[in-house]
Structure 1
Amino acid sequence: MSLSERLTTMEEYQPWSREASPDSRHRKMSFNPVGTWTQAAHEEPVGAFEVPKWKRLLQVFFAVIYCLFAAGVVFGYAAIKPVLLEEGVYRDRCTQKELDEDVPVCYEQELRLNLMFTVAAVSTNVVALPVGTILDRYGPRISGILGAIFVAVGSLVLAFAKDLPFDAYILGYLSLALGGPFIFISSFQLSNTFPQYSGLILALLTGAFDTSSAIFLFYRLSYQAADGAFTPKKFFLGYLVVPVFILVVQVFFMPSTSYKTVGELITQVEETANDVVHDSDDEIEDEDMVRRLQDARRGHRDSIVSEITVLLGTKDATEQTKEEDKKRNISGVWGALHGRPASEQIRSPWFILIALFTVLQMTRINYFVATIRSQYTYLFHSLDKAVEINNFFDVALPLGGVISVPFIGLVLDNMGTTFVLSLLVTIATTIGVLGVIPETWAAYTSICLFVIYRPFYYTAVS
């Protein structure tokens, strides 16, 4: 298929953009949720064909590795919370009566620890706004370096939290949380390194994000195996290897600017089509010289076209259009708000209802992660039983995210929006009902549903 056919196919995917602006296809991909189409401060995106294949493979590999170790590590809170309790974090907030009774965790201590996670979880979502702006304006390398700095600061603060004269645990955990989006979101553009496999690359990055919550699980297991000798200070000082690795990779291997999207690559080819004949050719009297210059330009253009064609693959445009039309028809709500101004979209029932649904579900998800041990201690009147369930949850949370990714893709590609949202509500309601039944089978079933529901919800809403 020709590259012009590809452009036609892509424009069919986004008809509203053409209506909004006759030159919309020349816009670059933006991560900025609040900005405009103003020129970015950093250099223009680079075509993937201009970078050696081995280097692009290495970039994707490194991105998956550092996302695995840093992107969503704060969501392993349920795993590290027992370590913090064992270390006596916030134990000074217990009343004398609670200390005399030697309760495993006192009321104020529980609230403070949960506040630490709540602040981190909220900040992870809110910081996406400035991350998008920075990414658009200064590029993925700067964003990744900032992420590494946040992770390094968080590790250092948590390592020396006991010795600092202020409440450093909340600050340290917050810094770890802020580093995650800078690292994770800046990696999305790497899906354009191999456009034919962009879905696979995004799936690997998403899977790495979900699995990163297991970092604290492995630490807790090491802590328990060493009978407490592997203290948080030793762990977080050792964890500094991760931000150092990210910093080195960003400086020496990762691109300073985002890779061009498929649309931008096609536009580049169209622009080079007019580069064969230049106005300056009229100033050259030697016709053979002009011919040689034009042949060289034509060869350069054909070389670029060939490289981009190989990069994009040879999938038929008609087949692409049919597949996209099928997804639109399945959706049932495609284009409901296309072409409307942002103010009207925000006031619409679509936005209001999905925003309320998101607020409720995010609160429920984060509350479950933060208080799972306390919930089941109360439900079963047994700390040992709650610890057993908590340990299962620590393993199931990262594992569920990885296992469910392909199935989530199948559901979203083949089911309508109404069905997907109904399924989300049904699963969430089932989790809530099972969460109040004081039976072991109900607890484990609820957790299994939760670890599948969490990535399903994130993917569906986004």
Structure 2
Amino acid sequence: MSFNPVGTWTEAAFEEPVGAFEVPKWKRIVQVFAAVIYCLLAAGPVFGYAAIKPVLIEEQVYRDECTAQELKDNVLVCYKQDLRLNFMFTVAAVSTNVVALPVGTILDRYGPRVSGIIGAILITIGTTIFAFAWQLPFDGYIPGYLFLALGGPFIFISSFQLSNTFPRYSGLILALLTGAFDTSSAVFLFYRIIYEATNGRFWPKYFFLCYLVVPVYILIVQLFLMPATSYKTVGELITVAESAEDQHASDDEIDDLEVVQTLQEARRAHRDSIVSEITVLLGTKDGADQTKQEDKKKKKSGVWGALHGRTAAEQIRTPWFIFITLFTVLQMTRINYFVATVRAQYVELLGSLDKAVEINNFFDIALPLGGVISIPFIGLILDNTSTTFCLALLVTIATTIGVLGVIPETWAAYANICLFVVYRPLYYTTVS
């Protein structure tokens, strides 16, 4: 509803950004389900590098980097070839972190739909380049893998706002999305299984051309199902309700008392409607129950409000931001390095290629499976423990992984991988 100089008013004055209660429950369920599906297929398939690397080696990607002696000795993968393949993954892994800043900017300015569409376009470009990389006159593997990686954050980060569709289950929804992201590494694992089952007849080109169905699906979902603007949090909805006062300064500009009274009644009805819908959205007859729960969470957090009231520049200069950033840099480096070099590490540690291949195969299956298994536990931990406990748990598990990673025993290798695949989704969700 809005007021214009001639004294008339319309419904536009009460239009607000999208609240979950304004969207039918069935549609919100479908939106979450659709987002989990496309995160499962496109949020982070490049992290399944350990699974697709043997296929690339079999297809002699970067074999021209080998020396004449290495070719004569018929080594499985030569030194420079291995470096080049790992560089392809390194560029992709680094880009997924660097691109987070522009993704956030686009998300804030243009909304999740635009972000999702950009992600679909980037994935299309990357998939197409990689499909024809074997026939291109230039090195298409690195840019193809890069664009495939760049699309993931646009898809994944823009999905976070869907946790506000059902505030009571926000932790579970975030865990589902993060679990889907972790499990997306299985895309290349399934392809490798098909590749081996067909004795290499299902060429990578055919797989990546089939994979183009995924960005098409994302594009359709973004255009016809997902919201153009992010869902507001319950706190934002309550702020809207509280700001919808009966008396507005603009009322003094209206001479017709009947119009003023009508405007005030409409504002009051709008506010009451928002409050009523919030209680329905929270699944409680009395909003006081939810308020108590939120207060309990804030107290349990231990750090709630530490940066409230500070500008972005002031927040960035605090130890809170500096140390969590340093921790993130270290852990992302460790996680991505392990994913890229798991086989090479265990060849060195165990002194056996066969054992390293077995561990690599176990890792390929455990990585996506860990994301699925850990979903309910992550939600419970985040919703019921303090921030300090969560960070201490991350540090403890990370340290244990580091210790297990240098023990030259088979049992330590399997224990390390089991812990790693559970730690990775916990780390991503907690930092997010």
Question: Shorter-normalised TM-score: what interval?
Answer: 0.7 to 0.9
Q: Does 1:107 align with 2:79?
A: yes
Deviations 1:337-384 (A, max 9, x none): 544555554444444333333222211111100000111122223222
Distance 2:245 2:405 in 1: 63
1:163 alignment partner, SS class: coil
Query: 1:283 maps to which residue?
Result: 256
Distance 2:264 2:303 in 1: 50
Query: 2:111 maps to which residue?
Result: 139
Q: Does 1:257 align with 2:241?
A: no
Match of 1:191 among 163, 175, 197: 163
Distance 2:373 2:101 in 1: 29
Q: Which amino acid aligns with 1:359?
A: V
Structure 1 residues 282 and 328 mapped into 2: Cα distance closer, same or farther (>3 Å)?
A: closer
Q: Which amino acid aligns with 2:410?
A: T
Greater Cα offset, 324-333 or 112-121: 324-333
Query: 2:8 maps to which residue?
Result: none
Match of 2:203 among 219, 227, 231: 231
Q: Which amino acid aligns with 1:385?
A: K
1:162 alignment partner, SS class: coil
Distance 2:359 2:336 in 1: 17
Distance 2:315 2:165 in 1: 33
Greater Cα offset, 436-445 or 255-264: 255-264
Structure 1 residues 193 and 357 mapped into 2: Cα distance closer, same or farther (>3 Å)?
A: closer
Q: Which amino acid aligns with 2:160?
A: F
- 8 Å contact 1:73–1:215 — kept in the other structure? yes
Deviations 1:225-277 (A, max 9, x none): 11101111000000000001111111112111222222332233345553899
Query: 2:340 maps to which residue?
Result: 370
Structure 1 residues 330 and 306 mapped into 2: Cα distance closer, same or farther (>3 Å)?
A: closer
Distance 1:195 1:417 in 2: 19
Structure 1 residues 426 and 257 mapped into 2: Cα distance closer, same or farther (>3 Å)?
A: closer
- 8 Å contact 2:62–2:81 — kept in the other structure? yes
- 8 Å contact 2:404–2:415 — kept in the other structure? yes
- 8 Å contact 2:246–2:265 — kept in the other structure? no
Deviations 1:292-327 (A, max 9, x none): 898777666654543343223327555545544544
State the Cα distance separating 1:72 from its structure 2 match. 1.2
Structure 1 residues 189 and 323 mapped into 2: Cα distance closer, same or farther (>3 Å)?
A: same
Distance 1:236 1:343 in 2: 43
Q: Does 1:396 align with 2:396?
A: no
Distance 1:120 1:90 in 2: 17
Match of 1:452 among 419, 422, 430: 422
Q: Which amino acid aligns with 1:398?
A: P
Greater Cα offset, 328-337 or 191-200: 328-337
Q: Does 1:166 align with 2:138?
A: yes
Distance 1:441 1:265 in 2: 52
Distance 1:335 1:47 in 2: 24
Structure 1 residues 412 and 138 mapped into 2: Cα distance closer, same or farther (>3 Å)?
A: closer
2:116 alignment partner, SS class: helix
Query: 1:126 maps to which residue?
Result: 98
Q: After TM superposition, list the pairs within 5 Å mapping 1:351-366 onto structure 2.
A: 351-366=321-336
2:370 alignment partner, SS class: helix
Instruction: Provide TM-score, normalisation by structure 2.
Output: 0.87
Match of 1:83 among 43, 55, 67: 55
Using the aligned pairs only, state the percent identity.
77
Distance 1:334 1:265 in 2: 20
Structure 1 residues 419 and 59 mapped into 2: Cα distance closer, same or farther (>3 Å)?
A: closer
Structure 1 residues 138 and 230 mapped into 2: Cα distance closer, same or farther (>3 Å)?
A: same
Deviations 1:117-166 (A, max 9, x none): 11111111111100111111111111110000000001100000011111
- 8 Å contact 1:124–1:178 — kept in the other structure? yes
Match of 2:152 among 180, 187, 192: 180
2:374 alignment partner, SS class: helix
Structure 1 residues 298 and 415 mapped into 2: Cα distance closer, same or farther (>3 Å)?
A: closer
Query: 2:38 maps to which residue?
Result: 66
Q: After TM superposition, list the pairs within 5 Å mapping 1:415-430 onto structure 2.
A: 415-430=385-400
Distance 2:328 2:196 in 1: 37
Query: 2:70 maps to which residue?
Result: 98
Q: Which amino acid aligns with 2:191?
A: Y
Greater Cα offset, 314-323 or 67-76: 314-323
Q: After TM superposition, list the pairs within 5 Å mapping 1:381-392 onto structure 2.
A: 381-392=351-362
Distance 1:265 1:352 in 2: 31
1:161 alignment partner, SS class: coil
Distance 1:44 1:295 in 2: 18
Query: 2:431 maps to which residue?
Result: 461
Distance 2:201 2:67 in 1: 28
Distance 2:303 2:277 in 1: 37
Instruction: Provide TM-score, normalisation by structure 1.
Output: 0.82
Structure 1 residues 348 and 45 mapped into 2: Cα distance closer, same or farther (>3 Å)?
A: closer
State the Cα distance separating 1:402 from its structure 2 match. 2.0
Distance 1:298 1:330 in 2: 35
Query: 2:3 maps to which residue?
Result: none
Structure 1 residues 248 and 406 mapped into 2: Cα distance closer, same or farther (>3 Å)?
A: same
Query: 1:309 maps to which residue?
Result: 279
Greater Cα offset, 230-239 or 190-199: 190-199
Q: Which amino acid aligns with 2:394?
A: L
Q: Which amino acid aligns with 1:178?
A: L
In angstroms, what is the RMSD of aligned CA positions? Answer: 2.9
Distance 2:275 2:378 in 1: 36
- 8 Å contact 1:404–1:452 — kept in the other structure? yes
* Count, aligned residues: 417
State the Cα distance separating 1:388 from its structure 2 match. 1.0
- 8 Å contact 1:44–1:257 — kept in the other structure? no
Q: Does 1:217 align with 2:206?
A: no
Distance 1:437 1:290 in 2: 77
Structure 1 residues 337 and 327 mapped into 2: Cα distance closer, same or farther (>3 Å)?
A: same
Structure 1 residues 238 and 442 mapped into 2: Cα distance closer, same or farther (>3 Å)?
A: same
Greater Cα offset, 302-311 or 442-451: 302-311
State the Cα distance separating 1:96 from its structure 2 match. 0.9
State the Cα distance separating 1:85 from its structure 2 match. 0.8
State the Cα distance separating 1:436 from its structure 2 match. 2.4
